[in-house]
Amino acid sequence: MHKSVKYIMVLFFASFSLVSCKQKQGDKIKVGFSQAMTTDDWRKQMNSSIKIEASLRPEVDLKISDANNNINKQIEDIERFISNKADIIIVSPIQSKPLTAVVEKSLKAGIPVLIVDRKIDGENYTAYLGADNIEIGRIAARYIISHSKNSGKIIEITGAYGSSPAYERSMGFNQIVNENKRFKIVNTIQGDWEKESVKIPLKAVLQQNPNIEYIFAHNDRMALSAWETAKTLGLEKKIKFIGVDGLNTVNGGIELVKSGVLDGTILYPTGGNEALKLALKMYNKEPVSKNNILSTIVIDKNNAEIIENQMDKVDQQQSVIESQQGAIKVQEREYASQNNLVRLLSFFLVIILSLTIYSIYSTISISRKKKQLERINQTVIDQNNEIQEMAQIAQRSNEAKLNFFTGLSHEFKTPITLIMSYVESLIENEKIKGTALIDEVKIIHKNSNRLLRLINQLLDFRKIEEQKFTLRASNTKIYDFTNEVMTNFKGEAARRNIDFQLICKNKNLELFIDKGLMDKVYFNLLSNAFKFTPDNGKISISIFENQDNTVRISFKDSGIGIPENELSNVFNPFFRASNNNKNSSGIGLHLSKEFVLLHQGTLELKSKQGSEFVITLLKGNSHLQPSEIINKAENLNKTPNLISDNLDIETDLNQEIVTSKSEKHTLLVIEDNIDLVAFLKAKLSSEYVVYTSDGSDAVKKTMEIIPDIIICDINLVDKDGYEISRELKKDLRSSHIPIIILTAQSTKESVLKGLQSGVDQYLTKPFSLSILKQSISSLLFNREKLRYYYTNNIYRVEPESKFGNQEQSFITKMNDIITRNVENPKFSVEDLADKLGVSRVQLYRKVKAIIGINISDHINNVKLEKAAELLKSNNMNISEIAYSLGFSSPNYFSTAFKNKFGISPKEYKSST
């Protein structure tokens, strides 16, 4: 159980016990009172007076048991008091003898016994309380003797046989009567204390003895019964009746005396209150007498009134006491309920206090815990920050390493390109073709190719990691495509006697694939198959159409296979099977899977007796994004891939066109790789005047030469290729020069960056020399077309750039200046260059580059165009026009005009 819950429960029970706590029963003095019966008023009065006494003593717990005049029940009642461990027992016996034993038992149990009224046999009780019954008998006898005037004949009616008062009263009565000869007890009737026991026997006795003077009954009830019996015989006035008890009740002794029924009654006090007082003394071990006698008195018509008054007073007092008791009880109840309310309130107060304490405790401990948690949290945050910082450092370092390796890989590409390009030249070289050397050259070529593929795989891996691949899928006949790739392996298959097959039912089956990527997948799977399949083995590619709109391309070999438990790892990067002791990078399969995934396909491996890689691709193109789909033509025009780059032999390597230097275009190669520069120079010098720069003086050299075309690398020492291109394209002097970027950086971003820098063509390494050559000549051809346009549209060159380049605005601006100064004979080329912010040489070269003629000729052309215009206007003659346009003589003007328009100014003028 939770600690706090326990705490609350303890509080609850503590508070509850506070409420329910009462004076314990065990703390009270347990008084057991065995009453003989309660049928008569004497007993009722006895009970009432003992109760009143008990109620005055809160320490007393009084229990009254009524034996109903049944001696056995009385014994049981006393037994029960004993077993309930009463502190003291009061017994008012029915009979004497039967109770002796049980009283002894009580004493043995240590419980004192007080006998009241009637006695038990023997002396074995603690104390006795009651009036002296012998004396009562004597008093009655003496009363009769002193008052008798007639016969002296008496009838005695006794109490129940076996009860001590009956015996003792009779004894005392007889004693005195017998002492006087004149008196005689004519008959003794055996009564039982109650009225009915009297009537029949008394009637009989009276009928025989009608001159009876006195009847003494042992109690008032039987005396009244005797009177009533006598009355039936008409003797009630003749006979005098004496009773015992003297109760102050209706039909009680006092009333009977007062009404004249009884002549007298002997007061027999019940002693109820005295009995309790005595019992408590006994309980408190105070000294008490064994026999405690209550005083008695004769009540007759002389004192009945007085005694009645006294008794009434006592009764009144008693009723006052009773009503006070009642009031006390009511108050006690109120007190009890108020006490309970107080306890309940205390209970709630305790609970509230406890909860308050608990909540304060909780608040404190919560705030402590909160602080602790905050500290922990702060530590965690700090650690987290540290981890993040470390992660960032690690990531930066990782990034730096990766960039380093990527950069390095890019750098590898250039020398490999060179090697391959030279090797390709060698393969095609007639001097080697027929010799034994060709095989060795081919081995160099093959291994260079392999090295290149590995580097490309590394770069692809990085690219895949950075999610930079975009699928460029086109509808492809998969049979043809597969066959094409297989061609590359057929030589090896034949050499090693490997059964190399393609199984495909539908040769026209088309799938949307990115040929470049799928080529790499095929190449990888086949390279692996060939690597692990022994000579004379079997490798097959099977193409199946499944029912579910998918196509399965399986690559199966009879090689060593892959251990069962490693199958799930083969596509993890850098994985190498435990049975693979050949060199492998471990990224080929990873890349293949990623490339297939780009096609929304799957690549799986089964390995039972050899390996089987299965590519599953969806038919159609609905599973691809529109941006991932290209048409076939585009796919054909794509940047040459690895295979065509490296296996296709350049056909035009040696077909150099020898052109004279004066006709040659100038070309500036900006490249810091000396070998590549040498290679390009060697390959391009026959067609172009090749200038070179390692990049450090690229812009300066461009401005000096104003070449017709520039080939520029990206990774250069000083400024990178993008910067150089941007600068050159911004500058009016060089903005017209086409720039070809030749770089190993093949990402989309790099190409985009290049194009944004204004470059005209972007070629990636390894490059195809023929494509480079084609690019150069295409760009120069386009420049030529532009030049033609400018030359023939001097005035029609639209100010709003039609081609969107700087040249157009340059020409427009230049033409504008020339036109404004056309009639100024002093206006020179220098002035024009000045106004355009370029040098004379630069102006000359730029104009030559853009419109193909020198600047003086261009100014003359503008002047002649103006002349033609003036000739048409008819306002001036030919000489005036010649001089106004700054021609030195009208003859020179005429010659120049004829050269340009084919007719003389004169003819031109007359023709309009």
Footprint of ligand FRU (CB under 6 A): 40, 42-43, 117-118, 159, 163, 165, 193, 219, 244-245, 268
Least distance CB 59 / ligand FRU (angstroms): 30
User: Which two tokens mark 146?
Assistant: 């002193």
Tell me whether residue 130 or residue 766 sits nearer to ligand FRU (CB atom): 130
Calpha distance 899→686 (Å, rounded): 35
Report, in angstroms and rounded to the nearest whole number, the Rg of the chain calculated over CA atoms. Answer: 72
Least distance CB 99 / ligand FRU (angstroms): 13
Least distance CB 213 / ligand FRU (angstroms): 23
Tell me whether residue 193 or residue 767 sits nearer to ligand FRU (CB atom): 193
Least distance CB 152 / ligand FRU (angstroms): 26
Q: Among 242, 98, 223, which residue's Cα sits nearest to residue 161?
A: 98
684 and 720 in contact (C-beta within 8 Å)?
no
Q: What's CA 106's distance to the chain center, in Å? A: 76
Sign of CA dihedral 793, 796, 802, 806: positive
Tell me whether residue 160 or residue 772 sits nearer to ligand FRU (CB atom): 160
Least distance CB 90 / ligand FRU (angstroms): 15
| Cβ-proximal residue to ligand FRU, closest one | 219
Least distance CB 13 / ligand FRU (angstroms): 52
Amino acid at 274: E
Tell me whether residue 197 or residue 761 sits nearer to ligand FRU (CB atom): 197
Tell me whether residue 157 or residue 699 sits nearer to ligand FRU (CB atom): 157
Calpha distance 595→592 (Å, rounded): 5
How far, CA to CA in Å, does 686 sit from each of 427, 654, 663, 681, 744? 21, 11, 11, 9, 26
Which DSSP state fits 473?
B
Tell me whether residue 40 or residue 612 sits nearer to ligand FRU (CB atom): 40
Least distance CB 42 / ligand FRU (angstroms): 4
User: Which two tokens mark 564?
Assistant: 């069962």
User: Which two tokens mark 233?
Assistant: 């015989």
Tell me whether residue 103 or residue 732 sits nearer to ligand FRU (CB atom): 103
Tell me whether residue 264 or residue 886 sits nearer to ligand FRU (CB atom): 264
Least distance CB 61 / ligand FRU (angstroms): 26
902 and 865 in contact (C-beta within 8 Å)?
no
**End-to-end Cα distance, the chain:** 121
689 and 666 in contact (C-beta within 8 Å)?
yes
Tell me whether residue 195 or residue 753 sits nearer to ligand FRU (CB atom): 195
544 and 551 in contact (C-beta within 8 Å)?
yes
Least distance CB 121 / ligand FRU (angstroms): 15
Amino acid at 704: E
Calpha distance 88→53 (Å, rounded): 15
**b/e map of 586-610 (b: 16 or more CB within 10 Å)?**
ebbbbbbbbbbebbbbebbbebeeb
Q: Among 239, 246, 249, 185, which residue's Cα sits nearest to residue 220?
A: 246
Residue with tokens 């003496």: 142
Least distance CB 163 / ligand FRU (angstroms): 6
Tell me whether residue 217 or residue 896 sits nearer to ligand FRU (CB atom): 217
Least distance CB 46 / ligand FRU (angstroms): 8
Tell me whether residue 159 or residue 707 sits nearer to ligand FRU (CB atom): 159
- How many CB atoms within 10 Å of residue 553? 24
Tell me whether residue 165 or residue 516 sits nearer to ligand FRU (CB atom): 165
Least distance CB 39 / ligand FRU (angstroms): 8
Q: State the greatest distance between any 2 C-alpha atoms of the chain, in Å, as a whole number.
A: 217
- Give me the DSSP letters along 403-469: HHHHHHHHHHHHHHHHHHHHHHHHHH-HHHHTSTHHHHHHHHHHHHHHHHHHHHHHHHHHHHHTT--
Least distance CB 26 / ligand FRU (angstroms): 34
Least distance CB 56 / ligand FRU (angstroms): 25
Least distance CB 230 / ligand FRU (angstroms): 20
488 and 643 in contact (C-beta within 8 Å)?
yes
Tell me whether residue 157 or residue 859 sits nearer to ligand FRU (CB atom): 157
Least distance CB 155 / ligand FRU (angstroms): 18
Calpha distance 11→13 (Å, rounded): 6
Q: Of how many residues is the chain composed?
A: 912
Tell me whether residue 92 or residue 126 sits nearer to ligand FRU (CB atom): 92
Calpha distance 779→792 (Å, rounded): 20
Least distance CB 191 / ligand FRU (angstroms): 9
Tell me whether residue 143 or residue 530 sits nearer to ligand FRU (CB atom): 143
Least distance CB 69 / ligand FRU (angstroms): 9
Tell me whether residue 118 or residue 593 sits nearer to ligand FRU (CB atom): 118
- Give me the DSSP letters along 693-758: E-STTHHHHHHHH--SEEEE-SS-SSS-HHHHHHHHHHSTTTTTS-EEEEES--SHHHHHHHHHTT
Tell me whether residue 245 or residue 807 sits nearer to ligand FRU (CB atom): 245
**b/e map of 296-327 (b: 16 or more CB within 10 Å)?**
bebbeeebbeebbeebeeebeebeeeeeebee
Tell me whether residue 246 or residue 610 sits nearer to ligand FRU (CB atom): 246
Q: Quick check: bond before 415 cis, omega within 30?
A: no
- Give me the DSSP letters along 28-72: SEEEEEEES--SSHHHHHHHHHHHHHHHT-TTEEEEEEE-TT-HH
User: Which two tokens mark 487?
Assistant: 């061609």
Calpha distance 742→374 (Å, rounded): 59
